[in-house]
Amino acid sequence: MRERLLQLGILIGVLGALALPAAAEDPAPAEPEKPWEFKIAAGISLREGDESKFNGNGDLLYKYGFTKDTLTFRALGDYGESDGDRDTENYGANLKWRHDFDGRFFWLSNTGADSDQIQGRNLRVIVNSGPGYRIWQDGDANFFDVATGLGYRHERFRGDDPNNDLLDMVAGYDYQQIFGEAVEIVHATDFYAPVNEIEAYLVKSEITLSVPLFAGLHFRNNARYEYVHQPADDRKESNFWLTMGLEYRL
């Protein structure tokens, strides 16, 4: 009996000695965060009955962060038909560069182009740049930014409508928050007020709700609003797009 207890004690001692070096080792380092972010989203809706409707949209975003600089590229488009007649067709892309100074101040520059055939606008080019300030931040994913600056806007319309070349005063805000480490809300609004033709002001606003499903796949609900105070002839001043679909993130 004593011999068995002695053998058991020796065995436990040997196992303990073997385990000590492993326990003394530092834990495996956490995997470093990726300097880039990639998202692609798509949504399709169909209806057949009293009327036939089709709507499709796509949205791609790529962001790359350096030490104090961030580049963000985005491209998106919407297309729709009702009873065989086109009632939605718009496409756009933009590139943003942001430089963070020490503290909460930053500099933001934006270049973008888009078209909306239903609105009679063949091309709109927007370029602007100016300072910004982070009013609120909670970690890396939750923040509220404001920015202002000066910019140039060129608008080219279809038919006999004149083209516009405008010098804009620009102001906007950008808000993002994640609730429960899962549900993400992103909201941004920009105001464009041209100093050489104040009546041609423009407001663009967008809000996106993303809910994770599994393996990088998210349910995505996006709403965009645009107000053009001087639209093309016989076109509405306000436009609203609501899309639901799936988003995949790498």
Q: Where are the domains of the chain?
A: 34-249
d(CA 170, CA 128): 7
Q: How confident is the model at residue 19 (pLDDT cuts 50, 70, 90)?
A: very low
Q: How crowded is the C-beta side of 44, counted as CA atoms within 13 Å?
A: 1
In CATH terms, the fold of domain 34-249 is Lipocalin (2.40.128)
How many Cβ atoms from other residues are within 10 Å of residue 28's Cβ? 6
For the chain, the residue count is 250
pTM: 0.82
152-186 pLDDT, tens per residue? 999 998 877 678 899 999 999 999 999 987 899 99
Q: How confident is the model at residue 189 (pLDDT cuts 50, 70, 90)?
A: very high
Q: Are 131 and 106 in contact (CB under 8 A)?
A: yes
d(CA 96, CA 62): 11
96-120 pLDDT, tens per residue? 999 999 889 999 999 999 999 888 8
SS3 state at 9: helix
For the chain, the average pLDDT equals: 86
